[in-house]
Structure 1
Amino acid sequence: MDGHQLVALLRPVRAGNAFEETVERLLQAIKLGVVAPGDKLPPERELAARLGISRVTLREAIRALQEAGYLDVRRGRYGGAFVVYQPPRPRQGDLRRAVKQMGADELDDALTFRMAIECGAAQVLAATELTGEQRETLRRRLAGVNDAAPADYRRLDTAFHLSIAELTGSALLASAAADARLRVTDLLNAIPVLGPNIDHAAAQHAAMVAAILAGDAEAARRAVVEHLEGTASLLRAFLA
């Protein structure tokens, strides 16, 4: 589990819709793979404090996600709420169904939103004087996605992309990046993990990191644009 990314997602909820927003926050973390399959959520006390809710509300939300098949709650000394959700394997027609459900206009809007957020985050991070730890985190996330097995690729790719916004130190930007990614997650999960595409993505990811570490905001923006335009082209190819 990535503690930093989980913290970025689990901002306090509003009192009026505490149950619904808690379910939304936890589901976002699960679907984005910030809490990986087989891992368990942080302790109730920590989660409730982070979300600004009662433990009763948290338990209700966890129960709802258990009933929906996302969590398995185990009792005892080694118990907790364990993630059992696994993104479904891509099947023919999945992407078309997902896009039809979303709608073409909403898809275009989601891709535009993601482009704006991720370009902005990369530019902000490139203009930031990074610590040695921040540089190492970025390199580690890049190595993680480069070394990923096909089954883990989408989750570690998400972690890499979210880390750029997260490392800016802006909770709002990190939250927006997670929201932007979540809007296209079902679509990305519906695309098979293809070797040539992974190779292209690896080179583009490396260019993004190199530009950020060099402090070149414009090069970072260009690298993000090239990468996300490639993703959009792949989506369109599978829909053609």
Structure 2
Amino acid sequence: MTVLRPVRAGNAFEETVERLLQAIKLGVVPPGGKLPPERELAVRLGISRVTLREAIRALSDAGYLDVRRGRYGGAFVTYRPPEPDAGTARQAVNAMGPGELADALTFRLAVESGAAQVLAASELDAAKRELLLRRLDELNAAGLDDYRRLDTAFHLSIAELTGSGLLAAACADARSRVSDLLNAIPMLQVNLDHAAVQHRAIVDAILAGDPEAAGRAVAEHLEGTAALLRGFLA
């Protein structure tokens, strides 16, 4: 839940919408899932409940949330990523521009490789090791309809387990910049099988306490994703 971090006072409404939208699009709160209670969410974001309600109302009007009243009410996520489509990916890239896309991919490579290196160099207790392995198992067992969300959870968990809020936020931001593109890439079984091997290599390097191997494994994985993306855009 690192994406739901405090916002700056100057643009509280706009940044609250951004934070909530990031959590929704990254699948931190899955389709059909409920946002944290209003009181808790306002404290987490460091805003007033009035500002939070305005942001939730805006996202409800835009079709991302369904606000229900009553004892079992709350703000429920209605957004679902569009079906993978290379044409959608091309549209997203055209909107970004080639320079911005290259910058986003470089940023993601830098922060995620760095996060893996930091975590591999850390003392990992049993709970952290268990969580990392659980995220990997969940991803390996995921169906196509839930793969991207659990892939995001796996990658973000590496940064979150470092204990650095800034690093975790940077990784979430990096993922957000390319999430629409990743969602648009058709999922090929051969690619998913290859990704599973790479994910296992990342986890093995982290658990072995080998920062260099961890950074290299993440870089290889992300470079493969970038190559696949460029292939579908060609």
Using structure 1 for the length normalisation, give the TM-score: 0.96
Q: Hey, what does 1:172 align to over in structure 2?
A: 166
Q: Hey, what does 1:3 align to over in structure 2?
A: none
| 1:62 CA drift (Å) | 0.2
Q: Does 1:157 align with 2:151?
A: yes
Q: Name structure 1 gaps, 5 residues minimum.
A: 1-5
| Distance 1:214-1:92 versus aligned 2 partners, 3 A rule | closer
- Matched residues in 2 for 1:181 and 1:162: separation? 9
| 1:11 CA drift (Å) | 1.5
Q: 2:50 aligns with which of 56, 79, 104?
A: 56
- Matched residues in 1 for 2:42 and 2:215: separation? 37
**What does the per-residue CA deviation read over 1:17-72, in whole Å, with 9 as the maximum and x for residues that have no partner?**
11001000000000000000011001100001111111110000000000000000
Q: Does 1:236 align with 2:230?
A: yes
Q: Does 1:111 align with 2:102?
A: no
- Matched residues in 2 for 1:169 and 1:192: separation? 34
- Matched residues in 1 for 2:230 and 2:43: separation? 43
Q: Hey, what does 1:137 align to over in structure 2?
A: 131
Within 5 Å, which residues of 2 pair with 1:172-211?
A: 172-211=166-205
Structure 1 ranges of 4+ moved more than 2 A: none
| 1:92 CA drift (Å) | 4.2
* 1:38 alignment partner, SS class: coil
| Distance 1:125-1:92 versus aligned 2 partners, 3 A rule | closer
- Matched residues in 1 for 2:46 and 2:220: separation? 39
- Matched residues in 2 for 1:92 and 1:114: separation? 21
Q: Hey, what does 1:34 align to over in structure 2?
A: 28
Q: Hey, what does 2:84 align to over in structure 1?
A: 90
Q: Hey, what does 1:213 align to over in structure 2?
A: 207
| Distance 1:211-1:92 versus aligned 2 partners, 3 A rule | closer
What residue identity is the alignment partner of 2:34?
K
Task: Name the count of aligned residue pairs.
Answer: 234
Within 5 Å, which residues of 2 pair with 1:122-133?
A: 122-133=116-127
146-155 or 86-95, larger mean C-alpha shift: 86-95
| 1:91 CA drift (Å) | 2.6
Percent of aligned pairs with the same residue?
Answer: 76
| 1:159 CA drift (Å) | 0.3
What residue identity is the alignment partner of 2:225?
T
- Matched residues in 2 for 1:44 and 1:92: separation? 38
- Matched residues in 1 for 2:86 and 2:218: separation? 29
- Matched residues in 1 for 2:42 and 2:177: separation? 26
Q: Hey, what does 2:96 align to over in structure 1?
A: 102
- Matched residues in 2 for 1:233 and 1:52: separation? 40
What residue identity is the alignment partner of 1:66?
S
**What does the per-residue CA deviation read over 1:99-133, in whole Å, with 9 as the maximum and x for residues that have no partner?**
11110000000000000000100000000000100
